[in-house]
Amino acid sequence: MQLAEDITSEDLKVFLEEAEEQLQLLDDEVIRLEKEITDEGLAGIFRAAHTLKGSSAMLGYTAMTEVAHAMESLLDKLRNHEVEVTPEVIDALLHSLDALRVLTDELIDEQGVEVDFESLVAELEASAGMAAATNDSGSETAASVELDDAALAEVQAALNAAQTVFDLHAEVVGDQTFASIRLFQLVTEFQDSTRFIASVPTLEQIQAQENGATFHAVIGTDKSPEDIQKLAEGVQDIGNVEVAPFNPDAEKSAPVAASTPDSESESKTAPGAESRPRSNANQTVRIDVERLDHLMNLIGELVIDRTRLQQIGRSLSAKYKSDDLIDSLGKTSSHVVKVVDDLQEDFMKVRMLPIGTVFSSFPRMMRDLSRSLDKPIDFQVEGGDTEIDRTVIEKVRDPLVHMLRNALDHGLENRADRAAAGKSETGSITLSAYQEQNHIVIEVKDDGAGIDPEKVKAAFIEKGLITEETASRLSDTEAVDLIFMPGASTKEQATEVSGRGVGMDIVKQNIEAINGFVEVETVIGKGSTFTARLPLTLATVQSILVETNDTLCAVPLAYVLEAVKLSPSEISIVSGREVFRLRDNVIPLISLAEATGMKGENVLDNEEIHVVVARVGDRLAGLAVNSLNEPQEIVVKSLGKYVGGAKGVSGASILGDGRVVLIMDIPTLISNIGARTRRADRATDKAVGVTAENILDSAA
């Protein structure tokens, strides 16, 4: 990897930031181009490739410039309607885009990469139906500048301003591949420091790459010929510079002159050919992620102290009534509480990112997979502007990849099967996101064959994952839920995409690891919808506080259906498991202390039993505790590596009074209850008139 000698680390940083934006734009627009061809879209793609070519050339990064130049040439033919958009053309553009990403990574990692540039360029040129261009600059001669009336008026204006008018001749003596870029740099250099009157080739011709290696211009300036020559030779690859006084009799007048730029802004903002990346007065600031995490921890400590201040203030006000000093302290405390609340709210917004930052990579992935499987699809993305905490975004990408690949490979039928079912040959998959209270909901919906419960059962029996007896007791919903088990797959033959029994179990584990849950709805012949509900943030959680065996626990409100009180007479035993009836549901009941492995009394023996009815998807369970406290927002703290994995506990927090509270891992607890229920023998409880299957339906 070789770069120009004068490139600084700041130049490289600016280039990488710009390159990432342009590469993402290319990725999005090239995929969109295959579905919808518009002049605006083609122009946008061309500008992005042109920008990459120009900025990489400024770095002296020849490999990237070569690929970007070939892409630009193909895109130019597309926008001029000289070449049609075909899958092969899109493939060539995407292959080149992949190479550009590899080359960008090389700048970051500072390690050499192997990219077959010749093959990439050949593929692009073949797609454009053209041969590699040659440029024989040896036989080229400089053309004279033709001045029209406007240009001659400019000459007179320069003379009236006591400026000297010069003829400037120069050549590109370096790599002819970058002749357009070097000449553009030369024009820009003189526009910044002289009165630029006219040139051959014109700026428009240079931008369109309709130029050779020679250059002739007429300029007005206060500088000496030596300064002009030095300025021109300061541009990379520019040589053979000649500066002579302007002789109007030697110039040929013509009705159409070598045009000058319409405005200064046009010359300085031509896509992709700035002489050096320029800094802009942006309204955004890039902040290191670790610094954000540290600030979040500090705000978490403030939130804890805020709660403590409130409690102290209430206690002092109750103890010392009508005390001016206490009243003043109370007002100050209230103000601090408000400031901390505002600070927490604003900082949470700083941590929020649009989910579209994840979604943006999926159209390309689905396009490639569609061609690989020969399953044409209409892939739609909705709700990309829905915001979510960056820590959640980092953990949701892999589950979404599995869900989307599953929808295309498993969900959608092949061409023949869709035709036989009277469906369009092109399948439909929609990825959408929206906010619902304190959660973000992500859906992956397809119009495929749906999930056949009987087929799932048969596949699991054949693999030995369940017995026929167990399968016979499963409802359709439970059978479909089997796809989330490890080793699950209904594929008859493994492929590079799926069929090895990994994927959906990873989806479930990863989503539940961030206090979310996933469920599926399916209709045979119509399609399936996978829905993941995720917390907006992992930094804080709204919880109901409960006590069990002298331990304070927090149950996230996202999983709480309601809280009830039971007497021992309302509890029944079915298949060795305590259950209770809540309206039309028969719900498994377990002591929270028992579920988490705490030692102490059995809360189910109490005269009055407090129960938190929790729900994950369509699974219900009752968690028995000693007492219920008020709901409270708590700051999530990791248990740390020294504590290790705690059964049924996802984290901890500290309350304002200094007490430690354990945050319950509700999905894991309910999953464990459901698993034990499924292993229960078939039985009938005469007291409540239900069977083990009824319990299974409510627990699973």
- For residue 586, give the 3-state DSSP assignment: strand
Question: What is the 3 state secondary structure string of 378-411?
Answer: EEEEECCCCEEEHHHHHHHHHHHHHHHHHHHHHH
CA-CA-CA-CA torsion for 274, 275, 281, 285, nearest 10 degrees? Answer: 90
By the 10 Å C-beta count (0-12 exposed, 13-18 middle, 19+ buried), 639 is classed as middle
613 contacts 622 by C-beta, under 8 angstroms: yes
The dihedral built from the CA positions of residue 532, 536, 541 and 543, taken in this order, carries a sign that is negative
Which among 641, 551, 631 has a CA at the least distance from the CA of 594? 551
CA distances from residue 402 to 293, 453, 508, 545, 617 in whole angstroms, order as listed: 28, 20, 10, 35, 19
The dihedral built from the CA positions of residue 285, 288, 293 and 297, taken in this order, carries a sign that is negative
What is the Cα–Cα distance from 171 to 16, expressed in whole angstroms?
A: 31
The dihedral built from the CA positions of residue 331, 336, 337 and 339, taken in this order, carries a sign that is positive
145 contacts 199 by C-beta, under 8 angstroms: yes
What is the Cα–Cα distance from 490 to 59, expressed in whole angstroms?
A: 52
The amino acid sitting at 253 is S
Buried b (16+ CB within 10 A) or exposed e, 605-629: eeeebbbbbbbbbebbbbbbbbebe
Q: Is 610 a catalytic residue?
A: no
501: left (phi over 0), alpha (psi -120 to 50) or beta: left
By the 10 Å C-beta count (0-12 exposed, 13-18 middle, 19+ buried), 46 is classed as buried
> How far does Cα 534 stand from its chain's mean position?
16
What is the Cα–Cα distance from 98 to 120, expressed in whole angstroms?
A: 10
Identify the active-site residue in 29, 251, 406, 439. Answer: 406
Q: Is 50 a catalytic residue?
A: yes
Residue 670: partners with Cβ closer than 8 Å, 6 or more residues away? 614, 616, 619, 620, 621, 699
What is 10-52 written as a DSSP string? HHHHHHHHHHHHHHHHHHHHHHHHHH---HHHHHHHHHHHHHH
Q: What is the DSSP letter of 261?
A: P
Residue 243: partners with Cβ closer than 8 Å, 6 or more residues away? 166, 167, 168, 169, 225, 228, 229, 232
**Phi and psi for 153 in degrees, rounded to 5?**
-65, -35
- Number of Cβ within 10 Å of residue 415's Cβ equals 15
CA distances from residue 626 to 319, 545, 547 in whole angstroms, order as listed: 30, 11, 6
Q: Which residues partner with 528 through β-bridges?
A: 446, 522
Residue 472: partners with Cβ closer than 8 Å, 6 or more residues away? none
55 contacts 29 by C-beta, under 8 angstroms: no
What is the Cα–Cα distance from 547 to 623, expressed in whole angstroms?
A: 11
Q: Is 247 a catalytic residue?
A: no
Rounded to whole angstroms, the maximal C-alpha distance in the chain is 116
- HSE (CB half, 13 Å, CA atoms) of 637? 18
The amino acid sitting at 231 is L
- Active site (catalytic) residues: 50, 72, 406
